[in-house]
Each structure stands twice: as C-alpha cells, then as structure tokens.
Amino acid sequence: MKRDKIDSIIRLIKKEVVPAIGCTEPAAVSLAVAKATEMLGTLPEKISLSLSGNIIKNAMGVGIPGTGMIGLPIAVALGALIGKSEYGLEVLKDVSEDSVEEGRKYISENRIFISHCQEDVPNLHIDVRVEACGRFARAVISGSHQNFIYLDNNGEVILDKGISMSVDSSDEDICLDAETVYRFAMEAPVDDIRFILEAKRLNSAAAELGMKGTYGHALGATMNLGHGLIGDSPLEHIMALTSAACDARMGGAPIAVMSNSGSGNQGITATMPVVSYANDINASEEQTIRALTLSHLTSIYIKQSLGRLSALCGCVVASTGASAGLVYLMGGDFDQVCAAIKNMVANLTGMICDGAKPACAMKISSGVSTSVMSAMLAMNGKCVSSSEGIISDDIDKTIRNLTSIGREAMQETDRLVLRIMVEK
C-alpha cells in the first residue's frame, strides 16, 4: 500500500476514533451550547434548542457523567455553566458537585426550551440560540458530532458552511472497501498505528469500573458472577467486559471512553471483544494493534455509507468490526474475515436503535456474542451464501445491502420509535 494512502487512512482513523465523556449525542448538544455561550460572553438568560429526532432519541434516557441525572436539560445547563468547546466531546470534563447544583437551579428557572426540528435536516442536527442582555448567539452542529456549520454572534455571521456541508467531506476522498481495510490493518507499519492502543486503555478502564456493578443495569458484573450458568470462557469474558464498559458509560460514569464514528458504545464494541480475546490467547502487542485497527476501520467503513445516526443499532456495525478483528486473532485471512462479516449481516440486520440508555449493554452483549459465533463459523469454513437473504457474493455489496436497509428502509421505523418514546 502506498505511503500517501496509509497516511490518509491514519488521518481518517484519528478523526473517527476519539475520546468522549458520556453519550456523544448529549455531549454534542453541550458542545454547541458551550460554543454559543462563549460567543455570547455571559451566562445565557434563555437557551433555545432545535434538535433532530435522532438527537432527542439518543439523549432522553442516558446518564450524564458526574451528575447522577439523565437527559438533555442537565447537559444543556452544564454546557452553558462550565462547558468548554476546546475540549470537544469531553466538553463537560470539568463538572463538579457545585456545578451540578448550579445546573439544577438553572433548570428550575425554566430557562431551557427544547423543540424537535421539523425541517429537512440530517439525522444529526443541533441548532442552539442563547440570549442575554438583549444580545444573542447561535451555533449549529450538523452531520457529525463536532461539525459546526453555522456560527452567529449577535448578527455577525462567523461561519456559514450551509446544510450541504453538514457531512464533513474530508473523509469522502478516501475510497474504502473491505480489501483496502484489511490490507491497511495488515500492512501499515505497526509504529504508525500504535496509537490505537489508547482505545484499549480507555475502554478497559471503563470495563473495570463497570465490573464493580454500580452503574446501569450492571450486566457485565452480573455475567461475571454467572460462571455456573455461562461458564468461565473467552466468550463470557468478551460479553462481560464489553457490557461492563457500556454499563459504566450509559450509567453516567465520569470517565472518557474511546468512541468510533461519533459513538462511544461503538468504540467500546469495536475494542473490548478484541482486547479480551487477545488477553486470553496471550496475543502479542502487534497482533493486538492490528486486530484493533481492523475492527475499528471496518466499523468506520460501514458507517461511511450508513450515516452517523440511523434506526439501525450501532452495535450491529461495531460488532461486525469486532468479528473481523477476532478472525485475525484466530489466524484467519481476508476470505475468512469476509465470511465473518457476511455471517454477521445475515444475523443482526434489523436490530433497531431506540435511543442511548443503560439497556444498550444488553444489545451490545447480543452483538458481541454473535461476533464470536460468526468468527468461529468463518474459521470452520462456513459462510452464509448469496442464496440466503440479503447476502451477496461480493463483500462490499453485502455491506451496502446492510447500510441501505438501515439508512433508507428503516426511516419510518425511526419515526415510530421516536414517537413511542416521547409519548410515554
């Protein structure tokens, strides 16, 4: 692989695999509020937000780190009170008990107004207007979690990319396909991709915290105690550790995790099965690095055609990446990686996203258990054929079949899920 191609893909991974504190949707809302407040120069007297349905769906039931609270109001209040836009998706990392109390007071004063954006906007769209002392500022994030497309400071337009630029085009010039993903993971100089071990460090720390059983539904800790039923095996280790990291994140633990394509849960799911299995088989550092790279880049590749947010649960994407990484650690080659991906698509297509929440750990455990099963089948020479369901002979066409269902066919499902959630 040519050096310029390697460098381009490294830049793409570094853009898409980044630390985030808490669920990335409320974090992105906090980021937009923080930016608008910084332009205003004072604490807003009023904050008005117009949000896409997927933002509302993914922020309604998730814990906000360090607050003991769930949902958008506290994320909005803290974005204004202590948020720093320079921190990106770690915008709320300075949260404290005092700031949480200030946030509660701010909410009680009915300063925050949230509405569902009815315009034709991307699934990820955040429009924030803050007001104080007769002045206003407005910040709009669209397309991806840190992609500001519009900034207005009291009528002075500082940035205006337009909705057409709501999807950051910098990665569209990188033509990924399954073979390119595999070749990069196998051929890139290991020192150039060693940075991926930061995903192992951050997400393993989240798993360790989740294993204490104090966050979310404590699924990881519960499985870890269930050796008599599940067994003390690599599969149990994978499911428990991955679920535990999600328990901590969705339960509001004040820690950063390494995200993938704007999702912390996807970052966890692309990381922890590989890390767990690598530990169990005493894989070398280089094997771990290449397996993590294959997992994360496969997830990025699939998300490129699916979109940031959709009705398809992100664990389907990330656990498919994990299955590819597991095949590599099992000694498999490109054909077996393709077989594992097809096996995943044949199984998990159609799993809906009904918002970020503690129960996401259960979906993730389903995804990663399927990733192990799919890898095992592939290593045994078994692959779902093109005569079955949406699987095609061509691996890239198979992936596009999956993403077109999630991006197009499930739109009405997405609307219905949101309606059910807001009407409860």
The whole-number pLDDT of residue 171 equals 46
Burial of 96 (0-12, 13-18, 19+ CB in 10 A): exposed
Instruction: For residue 224, give the nearest of 214, 209, 239 by alpha carbon.
Output: 239
pLDDT at 423: 85
Mean pLDDT lowest among 150-154, 204-208, 226-230: 226-230
Q: Please, which pLDDT band fits residue 173 given cuts at 50, 70 and 90?
A: low
Which position has the token pair 């381009």? 8
Give me the chain's average pLDDT, please. Answer: 93
Indicate the pLDDT class of residue 174, thresholds 50, 70 and 90. Answer: confident
pLDDT (average), residues 215-229:
85
| DSSP string over 180-233 | HHHHHHHHS-GGGSGGGHHHHHHHHHHHHHHTTS-STT-HHHHHHT-HHHH-SS
The pLDDT tens digits for 241-252 are: 999 999 999 988
Per-residue pLDDT at 227: 62
Position 168 scores a pLDDT of 46
Residue 422 pLDDT: 82
Token pair 């192990």 is at which residue? Answer: 372
pLDDT at 163 over 80: no
Looking at per-residue confidence, does 420 or 224 come out higher? 420
Is the confidence at residue 352, as pLDDT, over 50?
yes
pLDDT tens across 13-47, in order?
999 999 988 888 999 999 999 999 999 999 999 99
Structure tokens at 40: 């205003």
pLDDT for position 229: 79
Give the pLDDT mean for 217-224: 92
> Mean of the pLDDT values across residues 333-359?
94
* Confidence grade of residue 118 (pLDDT, cut at 50, 70, 90): confident
Tell me the average pLDDT across 400-411: 92
Task: Give the ranges where 307-410 is alpha helix by DSSP (H).
Answer: 314-329, 334-348, 360-379, 395-404
Of all residues in the chain, the percent with pLDDT exceeding 70 is: 97
Rounded CA gap, 344 and 59, in Å? 28
pLDDT for position 226:
64
Averaged pLDDT, 163-182: 71
CA distance 42 to 231: 57
- Amino acid type, 51: L
Residues 72-87, mean pLDDT to the nearest whole number: 96
Mean pLDDT value across residues 107-134: 93
190 pLDDT tier (thresholds 50, 70, 90): very high
- 50-62 mean pLDDT: 90
Residue 396: count of CB within 10 angstroms of its CB: 17
